[in-house]
Amino acid sequence: MLNDVKEVLVSEENLEKKVTELADKITKDFAGKNLVVIGVLKGANVFVADLIRKINIPIALDFMAISSYGSSTESSGVVKILKDLDEDIEGRHVLVVEDIIDTGLTLSYLTENLKSRGAKSIDICTLLDKPDRRKAHIDVKYKGFDIPDEFVVGYGIDFNEKYRNLPFVGILKREAYE
């Protein structure tokens, strides 16, 4: 598994530091508010699990599963909801937690969808951002790292369901996915 990684982009240590930093900001910003944290499955699973354990205010946790890439490495822009929320978000503050924003098409669909359910506010927290590839404008309030246009895996992020259990974010060798 490690042999398929060309380069470690974000180490375990740097992930932990950044997650703490983001959680501290979220704690301050949402103190006294009715916050629902929504993890976008499956990629954000590891990130959201680490993040919420460092958020120091009461929150509700929910998940949505959406399909974007399938097994390819390019976004189709077609988003399908595979698992919807259990929580009613009407009148509540929502924080959407994502693994990566690439074209932005997935999140643009998702935020419109959540708005239509009457959320009081919707903010985005993403671990990684590839700003060079953006097709839809997204306001990102909480961001971990800007990364170059490379295909990454690890810390919850997969290629064909593999590599999610790597403890760091790394660039996959081209041979591993072509």
Q: Can you give the three-state secondary structure of the chain, one letter per residue?
A: CHHHEEEEEECHHHHHHHHHHHHHHHHHHCCCCCEEEEEEECCCHHHHHHHHCCCCCCCEEEEEEEECCCCCCCCCCCCEEEECCCCCCCCCEEEEEEEEECCCHHHHHHHHHHHCCCCCEEEEEEEEECHHHCCCCCCCCEEEEECCCCCEEECCECECCECCCCCCEEEECHHHHC
Q: Which of 175, 176, 166 is nearest to 9 (CA)?
A: 166
> What part of residues 108-147 is at the interface with ligand 5GP (CB under 6 A)?
none
CB of 87 to Mg ion, least distance (A): 19
Interface with ligand 5GP (CB under 6 A), residue total 19
Q: Is 123 in the site for Mg ion (CB under 5 A)?
A: no
155 binds, among Mg ion, ligand 5GP, none (CB under 5 to 8 A by kind): none
Q: Is 153 in the site for ligand 5GP (CB under 6 A)?
A: yes
> What part of residues 82-111 is at the interface with ligand 5GP (CB under 6 A)?
98-106
| Comparison of 56 and 67: residue with beta carbon closer to ligand 5GP | 67
Interacting residue with ligand 5GP among 18, 35, 43, 59 (CB under 6 A) = 43
Q: Is 158 in the site for ligand 5GP (CB under 6 A)?
A: yes
Q: Is 99 in the site for Mg ion (CB under 5 A)?
A: yes
CB of 28 to ligand 5GP, least distance (A): 26
Residue 102: active-site member: yes
CB of 100 to ligand 5GP, least distance (A): 4
Q: Which of 3, 4, 59 is nearest to 26 (CA)?
A: 59
> Which residues contact ligand 5GP by CB under 6 A?
43, 68-69, 75, 98-106, 151-153, 157-159
